[in-house]
A and B are shown apart, each in its own frame.
Chain A
Amino acid sequence: MLKVKSVRAGYGAIRALKGVSFHVNEGEIVTLIGANGAGKSTLLNTISGLVRSTAGEILLRDKPIHKMTPAQIVRQGISQSPEGRQVFASLSVRDNLILGAYPRMRSSTRAEIAQDLEHVEQLFPILKERDRQSAGTLSGGEQQMLAIGRSLMAKPRILLLDEPTMGLAPIITAEILKTVRRLRDEEGVTIVLIEQNARAALSIADRGYVLETGRVSLEGKVEELLENSEVKRAYLGKGYKEVWE
């Protein structure tokens, strides 16, 4: 469904992606794991059009999208919940959600948008309770739910989630990951998930890629990655014991 082919991108002299290839099939949950600074966020932002690729191509259903603007890309059905939530702090929860539907304001009726709003508020009931409150006053977990809800308002076929559990308590983390799984299982949304918590990510994903300094170093089904000694050592925190024994 989404194919990234030898994409290079960076910031001025900094080369953050040095030829990354990966793909996502329809209805899959694919996770990207890697150390800080490996280029995971850059990859998602390149797909979303915030960062321009300098080489390679990105295809959505065989159609190139890497020359499109962020607005065009989100209208193609790829929306992102960015790293660090990035909610519109001084706007109300409701307005944040409404703005999520901005890309389809012309193509959808008010009734359709109202229906989706209701759907998102069903998915995250706390957002309905807090709908008049300004987004900046929500707790971290609530802001994360808002960020995901906002990206869902665009009615994406592919949802890009950048560290949706960053800094959250284990119970909220579990709840959010359960919702991610549900989005795929019940609504068929294809998902690309970046996670620091590799174990949690691998527990809900189908396939995974490991990124190291701008390159894919490993890829495979989650079962394979979970068994891989390199992954175990570097990302699952296992193995030290075995080494020292």
Chain B
Amino acid sequence: MISPPRFFKASMTITEQILQYVLSGLVMGSSYALIALGFTIIYNGTNIINFAQGEFVVIGSLLMVTMTEVYELPMPLAFIIAVAGTALVAFALQRLAIHPLRNSNAMTLIIVTIGASIVLRGISMFIWGKDAYAMRHFSGEEPIEIFGATILPQSFWVFGITIAAVVLLQLFYRKTLMGKAMLATAVNKTAARLMGINVENVLLISFVVSGALGATAGIIIAPLNLAKYDAGVMLGLKGFCACILGGLGSSGGAIIGGILLGIIEALGAGLISSSYRDAIAFVILLLVLFVRPQGLAPLKEMMMGQEKQ
């Protein structure tokens, strides 16, 4: 299964080891954060959990592999094509499967997304087969040493692109009219309709943006993990855990939840046993659901004294 890079020198102190785990946790966490943001955007627009989110991640990474390894396109171009291609898949999913059933209840639509994820996985297997593909790193593969831990140049790409994606998304929401209309629709659909906002378009754009984010998450970690048609199940569930951990519906929560999950997972796998890696996410999921179903996000509001509404 997927495992982030670990480069151990024979003699690491415990602090160095922990730093190493935190660094690899940050890398996976960045990707979880982007996946979780994708869940959040669709959830806010439609109140459904899109269980095909993990498929967007996989399709993004497989398209990237094909563009770089088969067509030998330059990285930036391949990146754009892989993101756009996945966004197109998300577009088609919304139009063909979600839109026609828009008057059904959320549970029906969630089941539709589960069905869609199975179909998409089947199509991926048909196109790419059952092999796991390795991908070139964006730039060098020579590990860099910091404070006794090592980090791959690819990790910096992961951090940089994640930050860029989050900043772009914020700019889109805060500065453009379309972005504001999307936020407004998430907050209050009836009022958004009264403002003349075409809610159906907003929902479509939510899927497209979410597809693009998922693809980005897949592409940036593809060089560190292998890209495989069925990796989406686990990645999607991890992203979902991150959402619940951060507080479903909060984009800040999604990012924090993703990063936290990545770090806890890496620490748990490193300090306890790596065979528990995937179990950790689910233990966290269950714990949060039992103890604090609203996640971490409301904490921030409580601290900032913005409890109204």
Contact = CB atoms under 8 A, between A and B. Distances in A.
B75 interface: no
Nearest to A103: B196
Interface string A101-119: 0110100000000000000
A50 B184 contact: no
A103 B198 CA distance: 10
B180 A98 contact: yes
Contacts of A74: 194-196
Indicate the size class of the contact surface on chain A: 20 to 34
A136 interface: yes
A102 B308 contact: no
A75 B193 CA distance: 12
A48 B306 contact: no
A147 to B, nearest CB: 8
A134 B309 CA distance: 10
A88 B196 contact: no
A34 interface: no
B304 to A, nearest CB: 10
Nearest to B183: A91
A176 interface: no
Contact of B184 (A71, A88, A136, A154): A88
Given A88-B191, A98-B180, A70 B306 contact: no
B188 A75 contact: no
Nearest to B305: A137
A86 interface: yes
A116 B187 CA distance: 24
A99 B308 contact: no
Contact of A154 (B177, B191, B196): B196
B183 A79 contact: no
B190 A137 contact: no
Interface in A80-104: 80, 82, 86-91, 95, 98-100, 102-103
Nearest to A95: B180
B195 A87 contact: no
A107 to B, nearest CB: 11
B197 interface: yes
Contacts of A50: 190, 193-194
B181 interface: yes
Contact of B187 (A70, A91, A150): A91
B196 A71 contact: yes
Contacts of A150: 195
Contacts of A134: 306
A91 B193 contact: no
Interface centre among B181, B190, B192, B198 (most CB of A within 10 A): B190
14 contacts: A50-B193, A71-B193, A74-B196, A75-B196, A86-B194, A88-B187, A89-B188, A89-B308, A89-B309, A91-B183, A95-B180, A99-B197, A103-B196, A105-B177
